[in-house]
A and B are shown apart, each in its own frame.
Chain A
């Protein structure tokens, strides 16, 4: 009779394998033990939460209606302009960052730019840009454009790296120039997914525009922040409801468009 047992591929050594498990559980126990739970604060928080919840159930759309309207309009403006600018700028970065069609120095530059853009959360970028350009929509526009370049540039580069190379080779073999081979050999292969991703980014940008507004980058987030500062939870509730509704509409529309394209 021959003995067989499944080899351990990840950690082959039995001693290290057991040690890792022991370390994991000890860390888990110590970690849980180190969390301070202050029940009084939780109780107070729950009470505030209930105020908030009751205001939520009686949202006040009217008192601050002009502020809300202006905020939403500004957020939508930021969203649309930054998405369009971001898409346009992500194309050269995405092409540059695709290993199979780019040259080394450009590849490294574009990858680095994208990596930096993706490593910084929108809120942090927004704080920085608000400090540079002052409060308002312009900082929000720049923040989201920058984030969109990182997001779409990376995905575009990955799409290009994943294309069927035979189609590109065939187009190149006809004597097509570099630009022509991208337009005819690559673009048709990645187009449906790029359009889908662009709409996906559009609804991410709307959500983000509400968040970065809180740190001063304009839009509905700024209106929401003001409302909370003034303890106008009923207006804040109205704003949150509007954000949720708009996000849901965006998500539904972008899903529908993506399905229609593919």
Chain B
């Protein structure tokens, strides 16, 4: 269970990016985080795995406090938080397999990873994950030889290799075509269901979010302005999150820019 209380974030002398965020995510729940660019979605999920240091407030995962953890504790806790990125963020010049195994870095000593002596169990698991995401034949290809959808699958396998207790997913489909986007969202959804994994998915595509997530949180100006079931999302709510716009499907031209 992920619990966020009174989370605030302010960059140096800037405005508050996150203003008092309170949030509880139970086991196995898939949460879609929507909101306009600059609403603080990226900052919020990066505060959870401490790629960004929160200014104040508490974040705890499975009872362990992350907001005031020491660097060593942060490193230890990051193992359990898998992250999937917008532009895949694979190490382009490494092979698919090496990218998946890099999910184990938090568990290995420097010499083990430097000499690439991964435990047999890790290698077996990595093959299983590659099988699961459908890339078993590409294990020894270089990551930059793959298509966008395939790379995102490697990203998913890497997150799985961490043996995570939580998935943070940052705009997983923003660089993908509509069909691939659906496949990727479906894959993330079914993996979360299989493992009972909770996930927070930043996403710009509202219809896609409604189709694949259990709960939607709308962020606007660093505040939660909507928190409810995907089915409860209507035009009023969208206006509250994004501002005035004609939300009819025919005139659907919401901003899909990067954050």
Contacts and interface: CB of A to CB of B under 8 A. Distances in A.
Counting chain B residues whose Cβ lies within 8 A of the other chain, the interface size class is 20 to 34
A175 B92 contact: no
Classify the secondary structure of A's interface with B. Answer: helix
B105 interface: yes
A167 B90 contact: yes
Given A175-B78, A184-B94, A170 B105 contact: no
A179 to B, nearest CB: 5
A173 B113 contact: no
Interface stretch (A33-41, A48-56, A185-193, A250-258): A185-193
Contacts of A47: none
B110 A170 contact: no
B153 interface: no
Contacts of B87: 166
A242 B214 CA distance: 76
A164 to B, nearest CB: 8
Contacts of B110: 177, 179-180, 183
Given A174-B106, A191-B93, 11 more contacts: A170-B91, A173-B81, A174-B79, A174-B83, A174-B104, A180-B105, A180-B110, A183-B110, A183-B113, A185-B91, A188-B92
A172 interface: yes
Given A183-B110, A184-B113, A174 B158 contact: yes
A192 to B, nearest CB: 8
B242 interface: no
B251 to A, nearest CB: 34
A166 B102 CA distance: 14
Given A183-B110, A183-B114, A174 B105 contact: yes
Contacts of B158: 170, 174
Contacts of A170: 83, 85, 89-91, 155, 158
Name which of A175, A188, A191, A192 has the most chain B CB atoms within 10 A of its CB.
Answer: A175
Of residues A166, A183, A185, which shows the largest number of chain B Cβ atoms within 10 Å of its Cβ?
Answer: A166
A192 B144 CA distance: 15
A189 B92 contact: yes
Contacts of B83: 170, 173-174
Contacts of A180: 105, 108, 110, 113-114
B103 interface: yes
Interface string B62-86: 0000000000000111110101010
Contact of B89 (A166, A176, A177, A188): A166
